[in-house]
A and B are shown apart, each in its own frame.
Chain A
């Protein structure tokens, strides 16, 4: 039964997923177990994306399914959900750039791979990145950008992290649209990741989890 929800979610069977969740809740099952299964299902979605079997539409749709499941389960929760995490990552699209498709894929993939993600959204100032790193103590920052003005914004963000005295304690990765290793050098970041899978691999390497 438990395996069913995992696979139904991984296979994106909307109606079956919702019917099964309802059935399990009605049967008085621990909602935490349902969320655990959902998380496993999302893990398979992430794996299929990494394997090139799933693409952006499947990620978006699975995210919607998870949202629906969470909404159904929430009223039944009596205690906060605790999940063990590999580490914290702060991500965001740099100042002057408002694109977030790639950013959200990275968010999704880091999340299903066990990271605690602080997604600051788009047009994020260097100060906001610094503040979030200080607040969370995250050892990893991911800078996203789609357009060429992001080159300078990335450089400025790395410099701000440096000026705040945080640089030596952390790793910074960049990615998105027109980014590549040339931009990585220009911005003085630690690594460029060509896609969300690369972001996961880098983050895992940096927290010693790979």
Chain B
């Protein structure tokens, strides 16, 4: 099958997913919502502009609890997300709490890459945050390129999870070939066993959170609310720049060891592509979200974007496209100077989710090539009135809604604020965006 046909098939499977709906109305609601979103993605004209509510961790605030509590109390997590599901009112999509980790699991692993409320951040903070550092040294490129798995196990993981430290001493798995005589001796070491005990415990804890997310997600589906993301993927430049070399490190590498950087990105590209594969009979949303970081306007020149950022990102994107998966490219910051470059992707194969990009220009340049999504400013959602939010939505719909291929959304997610501002977005979509 051609990529377009595969994608078409996947969208159909999403529409006809096997769900035990709570009522015929719920079933109709699900079909209407999936159809609305699918048409927008496919650059067709839906009944009206769909709306993604920018509410990642908002449910916690909405339910009067906070991120810290829902990271440590799974019942509190379910309560909060259910309350949001049942009380916010009609919405086009629903995001289950799959991005909320178990705080205890992270503690057990001695996780150092992130800080979260109550663990390095004030308890009332509404987000967890990445601690950027040089977790991979400049002279370790060859190790990564030669054998990424071994590099991860022996070098990267011990640096970001304290509990992995003793695993530096176990022999590489690839050294296990013939009859196993000495291969497992190091597993008798008490420190190594401590690691495995911690992994088991972290697994048990994480599972509770993942089951809670499925439970709430299924409840939403039964009520007719689809989620719109099947997973996450990253640009290879960001994988290296965010959590391995760090911004400082990777930008030095662009000057001091560009060849190694390119080689490492190619290696990571292959791994990223492997991770995006979905089975053919997958019936969830055929959409993978790609948060894009270090290729934004201002982070690098257009030439650097075309040399360092875009080529490997494009490979990951095209691998998904060939598999019938639609990447939703979340361009954090702004992408005004990138629009002319990224428009080369095949028509209708991706969606662009913009944070602060000029939507009028985006519609002009990308409008006939890709669905565009966005971008009520988070500052307005947090500090404005429902009336102001609704008015901003009206303007966005006017500027971007023409001919379909547009989804109303926030610039980025909000974790706090007035729930009526979210309701105002839904109202705007319903009042101002009906296609005639």
Q: B-contacting residues of A (Cβ < 8 Å)?
A: 12, 14, 54-57, 60-61, 64, 95-101, 123, 147-149, 151, 177-180, 182-183, 185-186, 195
Contact = CB atoms under 8 A, between A and B. Distances in A.
Q: Which 7 A-B pairs have the closest CB atoms?
A: A57-B251, A60-B251, A182-B379, A96-B125, A186-B383, A178-B378, A61-B255
A182 B256 CA distance: 41
B129 A147 contact: yes
Contacts of A95: 122
B19 interface: no
A80 B378 CA distance: 47
Interface in B369-407: 377-380, 382-384
B414 interface: yes
Given A55-B304, A57-B300, A195-B298, A98 B129 contact: yes
Given A12-B255, A149-B415, A56 B126 contact: no
B239 interface: no
B32 interface: no
A96 B411 CA distance: 21
A57 B254 contact: yes
Contact of B379 (A56, A96, A101, A178): A178
Contacts, number: 81
A126 to B, nearest CB: 12
A174 to B, nearest CB: 11
A191 to B, nearest CB: 15
A183 B299 CA distance: 23
A149 B126 contact: yes
A14 B412 contact: no
A149 B125 CA distance: 7
A200 to B, nearest CB: 15
A109 to B, nearest CB: 12
Contacts of B194: none
Contacts of A14: 255-256
Given A151-B382, A182-B383, A56 B300 contact: yes
B255 A98 contact: no
B298 A148 contact: no
Interface of B: 115, 121-122, 124-127, 129, 131-132, 247-248, 251-252, 254-256, 298-301, 304, 333, 377-380, 382-384, 411-412, 414-416
A123 B255 CA distance: 31
B356 to A, nearest CB: 9
A54 B379 CA distance: 29
B127 A98 contact: no
B383 A151 contact: yes
A14 B384 CA distance: 49
Contact of B304 (A12, A57, A180, A186): A57
Contact of B115 (A98, A101, A149, A185): A98
Nearest to B250: A57
Nearest to A192: B379
Contact of A148 (B126, B251, B304, B384): B126
Given A56-B298, A57-B254, A99 B383 contact: no
A151 B132 CA distance: 22
Contacts of A97: 129
A180 B301 CA distance: 24
A44 B219 CA distance: 60
B378 A55 contact: no
B255 A180 contact: no
A60 B382 contact: no
Given A57-B251, A96-B121, 17 more contacts: A55-B298, A55-B301, A56-B251, A60-B251, A60-B252, A61-B251, A98-B115, A99-B129, A100-B132, A101-B247, A147-B129, A148-B126, A148-B378, A148-B414, A148-B415, A151-B379, A178-B412
A56 B299 contact: yes
B241 to A, nearest CB: 10
Nearest to A180: B379
B254 A98 contact: no
Given A148-B416, A149-B415, A182 B129 contact: no
A18 to B, nearest CB: 13
Contacts of B129: 97-99, 147
Contacts of A180: 377, 379
Given A96-B122, A147-B127, A57 B255 contact: yes
Nearest to B121: A96
Contacts of A148: 126-127, 378, 382, 412, 414-416
A182 B380 contact: yes
A195 B334 CA distance: 13
Nearest to B123: A96
A141 B256 CA distance: 35
A55 B300 contact: yes
Nearest to A59: B251
Contacts of B124: 96
Contacts of A149: 125-127, 415-416
A12 B252 CA distance: 11
Contacts of B254: 57, 61
9 contacts: A56-B298, A57-B304, A61-B252, A98-B131, A101-B247, A148-B127, A149-B126, A177-B333, A178-B411
B379 A179 contact: yes
B298 to A, nearest CB: 7
A26 to B, nearest CB: 25
Contacts of B256: 14, 61
A174 B255 CA distance: 31
A54 B377 CA distance: 28
A195 B124 CA distance: 29
A60 B300 CA distance: 11
Given A96-B122, A99-B129, A149-B415, A60 B247 contact: yes
